[in-house]
């Protein structure tokens, strides 16, 4: 019984020591220190917002524009317009390696005390879209991972996101196709206009035939343009030649046929 109680006491002492060690490490890790420092320097409203939401808002000293500082150290500052909608994402941080709490504190002080200089050095990441179902500016989810990804100055690997798998059916792709069609029409004219260019057409059938002919000509000229000498080796070129160029060939062929036809007569002469 005495042995059992001694072992139990040792176990609880060991457990208490382990908990003390873990709490010491968690309170004195760089991340914990940075976070504690950040909390000390935030205003009460910012501190409350950060503890509840994981981000805090700061107001730029020059433009009075609000910015949202998310927990993190890379591309974690989000511009917010005056209507509360999210804008671009700013990527700006102090030189060297710092923990997220330190980076966020530096960003807060920089935006609140020297906004224009901060914007001058910041790289802006343009959001492309939003995650489905998220409306307006939210928490860390308000910037969609599918959003985003093009930086107008630098390209960050971490910010390149893969689009949704069903992107082929998305309305964005449909709109892009429409845009491409419009661009193509601007270059070549609408199909009806192409037919008008081809000449007057009496019936719908004529119109269709002319459109088909124009399309074929375009295809042929594209194929010819692919070859450096303008010729397509797969189809040797006779049908590219206009009829008047073919005339000597036809005359020669006719003469050969005539000669063959006259051959028995030559034999009779001999």
Partner 1 sequence: MVTQIVMDHTGYSRHEYDVDDIEALTEAERRFRKLTSEGFTAAVRTAAGESWRVFAFDPTAKETLFFRRLVGG
Residues at the contact surface with partner 1, assessed by CB under 8 A: 29-34, 36-37, 41-44, 46-47, 74-75, 91-99, 101-102, 105-110, 112-114, 118, 121-123, 153-154, 156
Contacts of 212 (CB under 8 A, 6+ apart): none
The runs of H, that is alpha helices, within 1-57 are 2-28, 30-41, 44-53
Nearer to partner 1, 108 or 130 (CB): 108
Nearer to partner 1, 94 or 174 (CB): 94
Give the Cα separation of 131 and 144 in Å (integer).
Answer: 5
Give the Cα separation of 84 and 135 in Å (integer).
Answer: 11
Give min distance, CB of 50 to partner 1, in A. Answer: 12
The SS3 of residue 70 is strand
DSSP element (H, E) containing 79: strand 77-80
Q: How many residues does the chain have?
A: 270
Nearer to partner 1, 147 or 195 (CB): 147
Q: State the CB neighbour count (10 A cutoff) for residue 184.
A: 11
Nearer to partner 1, 150 or 176 (CB): 150
> Do 131 and 95 contact (CB within 8 A), yes or no?
no
Give min distance, CB of 108 to partner 1, in A. Answer: 8
Give min distance, CB of 37 to partner 1, in A. Answer: 6
Nearer to partner 1, 93 or 137 (CB): 93
DSSP element (H, E) containing 220: helix 204-226
Give min distance, CB of 155 to partner 1, in A. Answer: 12
> Do 53 and 106 contact (CB within 8 A), yes or no?
no
Give min distance, CB of 143 to partner 1, in A. Answer: 15
Q: In 3D, which of 117, 119, 99, 108 has the Cα closest to residue 29? A: 99
Give min distance, CB of 105 to partner 1, in A. Answer: 7
Nearer to partner 1, 30 or 145 (CB): 30
Q: In 3D, which of 82, 58, 87, 61 has the Cα closest to residue 70? A: 58
146-167 per-residue burial string, b: 16 or more CB within 10 A, e: under 16: bbbbebeeeeeeebeeeeeeee
Give min distance, CB of 17 to partner 1, in A. Answer: 24
Nearer to partner 1, 6 or 160 (CB): 160
């Amino acid at each position: 019984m005495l042995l059992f109680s001694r072992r139990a006491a040792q176990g609880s002492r060991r457990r208490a020591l382990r908990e003390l060690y873990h709490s010491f490490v968690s309170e004195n890790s760089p991340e914990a220190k940075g976070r504690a420092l950040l909390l000390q320097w935030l205003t009460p409203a910012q501190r409350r917002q950060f503890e509840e939401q994981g981000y805090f808002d700061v107001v730029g000293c020059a433009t009075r524009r609000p910015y949202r500082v998310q927990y993190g150290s890379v591309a974690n500052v989000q511009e917010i317009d005056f209507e509360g909608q999210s804008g671009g994402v700013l990527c700006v941080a102090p030189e060297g390696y710092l923990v997220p709490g330190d980076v966020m504190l530096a960003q807060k002080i920089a935006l609140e005390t020297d906004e224009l200089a901060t914007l001058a050095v910041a790289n802006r990441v343009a959001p492309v879209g939003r995650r489905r179902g998220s409306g307006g500016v939210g928490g860390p989810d308000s910037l969609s991972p599918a959003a985003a990804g093009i930086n107008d100055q630098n390209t960050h690997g971490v910010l390149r996101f893969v689009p949704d798998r069903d992107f082929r059916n998305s309305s964005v792709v449909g709109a892009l196709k429409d845009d491409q069609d419009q661009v193509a029409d601007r270059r070549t004219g609408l199909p009806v206009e192409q037919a008008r260019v081809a000449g007057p057409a009496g019936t719908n059938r004529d119109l269709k035939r002319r459109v088909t002919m124009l399309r074929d000509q375009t295809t042929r000229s594209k194929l010819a343009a692919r070859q450096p000498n303008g010729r397509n080796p797969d189809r040797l070129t006779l049908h590219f030649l206009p009829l008047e160029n073919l005339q000597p060939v036809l005359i020669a062929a006719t003469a050969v046929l005539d000669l063959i036809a006259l051959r028995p007569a030559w034999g009779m002469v001999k």
